[in-house]
Amino acid sequence: MFTILANRTYRHLLSAQIIALVGTGLATVALGLLAFELAGGNAGAVLGTALAIKMIAYIGIAPVVGAFADRLPRRAFLVAMDLVRAAVALSLPFVDQIWQIYVLIFVLQSASAAFTPTFQATIPDVLPDEGEYTRALSLSRLAYDMESLISPILAAALLSVISFHWLFAGTSIGFICSALFVVSVVLPRSPAKPRKGGIWAKTTRGLRIYLKTPRLKGLLALSLASAAASSMVIVNTVVIVRGGLGFGQREVALTLAAYGSGSMLAALFIPRMLDKVSDRTLMVGAAALLTAALAAMAVVTALLGTSGGYWQLLLAGWFVLGIAYSASVTPSGRLLRRSANAEDRPAAFAAQFALSHGCWLITYPLAGQIGAGVGQIAAFAVLALVAGIGTVGALLIWPSHDPELLAHSHDDLPPGHEHLFEDHAQGKSASHAFVIDDIHPNWPRMV
């Protein structure tokens, strides 16, 4: 897996991602403390609103940026978004009103919504070989999991010697270092093929490609299943461990670490697994495991409550959920890469970014409100049901036979059209690698 680090461009981009993630993790801790300083007992409401603003920014901004990302110089754009995030992080310690937090969070998350899909769409051009790209996806998953483990530990260490306000400075430094790593390499230029249509057509292009491609519609269903599981972990771990079991912060960290460890372990083996099974088999199987694990935890919670060895079973359940979550989401970049032309990849990645966060916008409130209002047994059961719906939906929407080369005809094109000459062997061949684009506006009917 680590042989791809010999590629200098990818190595620098991965370093930029890791440093920015650690900085974001520090900001998450500092933001919670800032909210408590300004709002006291209402800090939870402030953070909940900030999380909703984050999701709104992700859903609203990413498709707009994806529409025009192919026209922008990638390196300059990524560096600019890093610098915007650095400036916002430096501003946060100076706020003294709740509304100022909301405004700055919207700007920060809008920059992230612009940066992340563009960054993700760049990696397939840096690593055009599918095997290398698969390993890059696993390393990216490892980076996210390492951030979830390292950032809280680093924040705790820093808070023992400095005020939490200085954590925002660490966040800013992380984004600046990320920008320096990006500016240190030459990135492949975006294809400059002109597109038809106005602003609305360009903004919705990624969504239209996404929702007309069966495997990507299946990916959306799987995103709902993975969001259900991750929301249960993110929202209710502290409630179960501290409120239900009566344990302290250390046990909360260890429980989250069990989930992160499972995800990291799976990421290490995913490239080898994809050499033997299809993306669909691995991802749908992982979603089924998510569903089963959530349902099993509902039964265990109903039978044991918080007595006996419930915490040990919770650790095991979170570990399994981590494995299944990683396996269900890590290959998604392969599907997006396979389902769009190079010039449309930023729009396709932006569509996945927005739609997947739309799933979280549904499952976050479900996990929190049902857990608080009805109880954790109901939260496990309802989220298992949501994950099951996503899994069954993927099975139905994503065909088991999903070849890259699809036979189709072009009765709408004149005999001398360049597409027939270049991709259909002057009309003699009926198939080629099929994606939705201007010439192929609809998916061919499978016979």
Whether 296 and 408 map to the same domain: the answer is: no
Total-model pTM? 0.82
| Owning domain of residue 60 | 7-185
The whole-number pLDDT of residue 418 equals 75
1 occurs within a structural domain: no
Tens-binned pLDDT, residue by residue, of the chain (447 aa): 567 888 899 899 989 988 888 888 788 777 767 776 777 756 656 766 777 788 888 888 877 776 666 677 888 889 999 999 999 999 988 888 888 888 988 898 888 888 888 888 888 888 888 788 888 888 887 777 777 667 766 776 777 787 878 888 888 999 999 999 999 988 877 655 555 556 666 678 888 999 999 999 999 999 999 999 988 988 788 788 878 888 876 787 788 888 888 988 898 899 889 989 999 999 999 999 999 999 999 999 998 887 768 999 999 999 999 999 999 999 998 999 889 887 788 888 888 888 998 898 888 888 888 888 888 899 999 999 999 999 999 999 999 988 877 777 777 777 777 777 766 765 556 667 788 887 887 888 754
Closest CA to 94 of 47, 34, 163: 34
- Domain harbouring 170, CATH code: 1.20.1250.20
Whether 19 and 102 map to the same domain: the answer is: yes
194 occurs within a structural domain: no
Whether 29 and 135 map to the same domain: the answer is: yes
Angstrom distance (rounded) from CA 68 to CA 136: 25
**C-beta separation of 281 from 144 below 8 A:** no
Whether 442 and 377 map to the same domain: the answer is: no
425 occurs within a structural domain: yes
For residue 298 the two structure tokens come to 């509902």
DSSP string computed for 221-240: HHHHHHHHHHHHHHHHHHII
The whole-number pLDDT of residue 191 equals 56
Whether 314 and 411 map to the same domain: the answer is: no
Q: What one-character DSSP code corresponds to residue 144?
A: H
Whether 393 and 413 map to the same domain: the answer is: no
Whether 144 and 155 map to the same domain: the answer is: yes
193 occurs within a structural domain: no
CB-based contacts of 416, cutoff 8 Å, min separation 6: none
2 occurs within a structural domain: no
The whole-number pLDDT of residue 42 equals 65
Angstrom distance (rounded) from CA 80 to CA 114: 10
Closest CA to 376 of 240, 243, 254: 240
Q: Which amino acid is at 314?
A: L
Q: What one-character DSSP code corresponds to residue 244?
A: I
The whole-number pLDDT of residue 427 equals 57
Whether 117 and 130 map to the same domain: the answer is: yes
For residue 169 the two structure tokens come to 């400075």
277 occurs within a structural domain: yes
Whether 372 and 408 map to the same domain: the answer is: no
Whether 359 and 415 map to the same domain: the answer is: no
433 occurs within a structural domain: yes
Whether 146 and 33 map to the same domain: the answer is: yes
The whole-number pLDDT of residue 369 equals 83
Domain total of the chain: 3
113 occurs within a structural domain: yes
Whether 375 and 429 map to the same domain: the answer is: no
**C-beta separation of 340 from 435 below 8 A:** yes
